[in-house]
């Protein structure tokens, strides 16, 4: 069927195919993407009569867009059979398949069958959870993770929501230049389910230094910068610091955010302590990695824990810096005591990377940025779905989920929805009733098995009742 397409000028363009059940919104998406550019519709009688096809432009790139809607009628009698028959030839030449589901209706057995078939075709697939408008939309869209085709994109074609993201995703996924699909083997090595490419935004790692007043943050910053860019000491307003400064290490640029926050000393109406927490909040929001700086001679204070909790709540990646190490006498005891206090107060900080140094003398500071880089890697890590589920089965058979109101929770499937911080979704029945200690059992297990020390881990529970 592919060969009988008329040779029109659009035929070297990357091919994007919209597939899915009837009524999920394929035509609406097609029309949105095509906009007014209805040129080059291939309507050769007999061959492509029922296939809506058009050239479209996304982010300045021309694509050939094919809508498989309306082909269902002529095909075999089961719904999946019709979906498959209508899509087969189109999917066979796709550079990207937009697999559309209805976020409101949820995932149906036909969707699941079709997803399983799609996975075997070895074509790049982006799952679109359409009809995801409004506040519940994103949550409903989450269910589409269970298709094992990577992160779904929540959109509302009718309301025009998420279309800019959709165009961006398409532009990122289609090949540069002419279509690759007809050259690519039909069954490419399958990527592990749910595993995705590195979606890290390019650019510098964003780092914040937070901690209580006098912990030595400014001294540390000066040390990292290798010059007296900031003046340390009690006098406020001595320098007008830029809001962020750039550092470079072996691996590239690092942007230190909100360095001005370091200089904001307490105002008269604020206690020093309160001040350090509010300044931390601002810095945290801008940062990816946070260095929580302690004065090691003073041990851990409630204020430090409060900041640590904020870091955890914001899902940031944390490195614990024990400063003024030059003034610490019993170093092993001190290090262990501080680590214990942090880890017992905050289970999510288990295995947190700790670096001890003296910002004043510079001793040990060279370990700090490599530790930041490693922590950042962990925070960005993705666990393949296959591995995850093998581990998951082992965990569940070792400790079956508890009875809730006399009924056992059914746990089916786990997938990593995103990184930064690592976020997992667990599917099953009545999962939302899972007791906290069982959740902790799973989170601690994830941390150990997949080597995710010191990063917040999110476990989201999805299930029917």
Which of 376, 444, 393, 387 shows the shortest CA–CA distance to 194? 387
CB of 29 to ligand GDP, least distance (A): 7
Q: Where are the beta strands (DSSP E) in 258-348?
A: 289-295, 317-323
Residue 37, marked binder: no
Binding footprint of ligand GDP, residue count (CB under 6 A):
33
Among 23, 44, 78, 366, binds ligand GDP (CB under 6 A): 23
Q: Which residues are bridge partners to 245 per DSSP?
A: 256
SS3 26: helix
Phi, psi of 463 (to 5 degrees): -175, 165
Q: Are strands 61-67 and 96-102 parallel, antiparallel or unpaired?
A: unpaired
User: Is 344 exposed, middle or buried, given 0-12, 13-18 or 19+ CB atoms closer than 10 A?
Assistant: exposed
Among 14, 152, 194, 216, binds ligand GDP (CB under 6 A): 216
Query: In what helix (H) or strand (E) does residue 447 lie, and over which residues does it extend?
Result: helix 436-449
- Does position 432 bind ligand GDP by CB under 6 A? no
CB of 240 to ligand GDP, least distance (A): 16
Among 131, 206, 382, 420, binds ligand GDP (CB under 6 A): 131
- Does position 382 bind ligand GDP by CB under 6 A? no
- Does position 213 bind ligand GDP by CB under 6 A? yes
Separation between Cα atoms, residue 96 and residue 106, nearest integer Å: 23
Instruction: State the binding string over 76-115 for ligand GDP (x if CB under 6 A, else -).
Output: ----------------------------------------
Of the candidate spans 19-27, 43-51, 165-173, 235-243, the one that interacts with ligand GDP by CB under 6 A turns out to be 19-27
Phi, psi of 200 (to 5 degrees): -60, 135
Among 262, 284, 321, 349, binds ligand GDP (CB under 6 A): 262
User: Is 368 exposed, middle or buried, given 0-12, 13-18 or 19+ CB atoms closer than 10 A?
Assistant: buried
CB of 163 to ligand GDP, least distance (A): 10
- Does position 204 bind ligand GDP by CB under 6 A? no
Please list every residue from 310 through 369 that binds ligand GDP, using CB under 6 A. Answer: 323-324, 326-327, 358-360
User: Any idea what DSSP says for residue 317?
Assistant: E
User: Any idea what DSSP says for residue 40?
Assistant: T
- Does position 26 bind ligand GDP by CB under 6 A? yes
Query: In what helix (H) or strand (E) does residue 339 lie, and over which residues does it extend?
Result: helix 331-345
Among 232, 255, 259, 348, binds ligand GDP (CB under 6 A): 232
Separation between Cα atoms, residue 125 and residue 197, nearest integer Å: 13
Instruction: For residue 266, count other CB atoms closer than 10 A to its CB.
Output: 15
Residue 211, marked binder: yes
User: Which residue carries 């360095």 as its tokens?
Assistant: 259
- Does position 51 bind ligand GDP by CB under 6 A? no
CB of 241 to ligand GDP, least distance (A): 11
Q: Which residues bind ligand GDP (CB under 6 A)?
A: 20, 22-28, 69, 130-131, 133, 156-159, 211, 213-219, 232, 262, 323-324, 326-327, 358-360
Which residues are known binding-site members for GTP?
20-27, 67-71, 130-133, 211-218, 258-262, 323-326
């Amino acid at each position: 069927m592919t060969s009988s397409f008329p040779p029109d000028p659009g035929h070297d363009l990357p091919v994007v195919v919209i597939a899915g059940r009837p009524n999920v919104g394929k035509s609406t998406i097609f029309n949105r993407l095509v906009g007014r550019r209805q040129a080059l519709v291939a309507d050769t009688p007999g061959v492509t009569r029922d296939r809506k096809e058009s050239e479209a432009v996304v982010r300045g790139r021309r694509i050939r867009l094919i809508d498989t809607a309306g082909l269902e009628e002529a095909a075999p009698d089961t719904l999946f059979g019709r979906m498959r028959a209508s899509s087969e030839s189109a999917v066979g030449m796709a550079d990207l398949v937009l697999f559309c589901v209805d976020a409101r209706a949820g995932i149906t057995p036909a969707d699941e069958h079709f997803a399983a078939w799609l996975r075997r075709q070895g074509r790049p697939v982006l799952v679109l959870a359409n009809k995801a408008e409004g506040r519940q939309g994103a949550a409903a869209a989450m269910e589409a993770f269970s298709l094992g085709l990577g992160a779904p994109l929540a959109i509302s074609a009718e309301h025009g929501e998420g279309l800019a993201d959709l165009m961006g995703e398409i532009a990122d996924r289609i090949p540069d230049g002419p279509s690759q699909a007809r050259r690519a083997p039909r069954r490419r090595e399958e990527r592990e389910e749910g595993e995705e490419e590195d979606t890290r935004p390019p650019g510098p790692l964003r780092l914040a230094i937070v901690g209580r007043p006098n912990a030595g943050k400014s001294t540390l910053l000066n040390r990292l910068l290798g010059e007296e860019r900031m003046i340390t000491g009690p006098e406020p307003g001595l320098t007008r610091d830029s809001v962020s400064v750039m550092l470079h290490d072996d691996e590239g640029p690092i942007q230190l955010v909100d360095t001005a926050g370091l200089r904001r000393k307490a105002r008269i109406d604020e206690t020093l302590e309160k001040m350090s927490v509010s300044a931390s909040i601002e810095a945290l929001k801008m940062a990816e990695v946070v260095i929580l700086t302690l004065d090691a001679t003073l041990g851990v204070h409630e204020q430090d824990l409060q900041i640590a909790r904020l870091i955890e709540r914001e899902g940031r990646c944390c490195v614990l810096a024990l400063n003024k190490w030059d003034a610490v006498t019993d170093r092993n005891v001190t290090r262990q005591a501080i680590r214990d206090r942090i880890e017992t107060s905050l289970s999510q900080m288990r295995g947190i990377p700790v670096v001890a140094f003296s910002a004043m003398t510079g001793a040990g500071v060279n370990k700090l940025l490599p530790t930041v880089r490693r922590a950042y890697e962990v925070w960005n890590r993705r666990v393949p779905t296959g591995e995850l589920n093998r581990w998951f089965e082992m965990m569940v058979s070792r400790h079956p989920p508890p009875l809730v109101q006399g009924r056992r929770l059914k746990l089916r499937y786990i997938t990593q929805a995103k990184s930064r911080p690592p976020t997992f979704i667990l599917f099953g029945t009545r999962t939302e009733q899972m007791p906290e200690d069982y959740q902790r059992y799973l989170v601690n297990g994830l941390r150990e098995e997949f080597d995710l020390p010191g990063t917040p881990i999110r476990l989201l529970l999805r299930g029917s009742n």
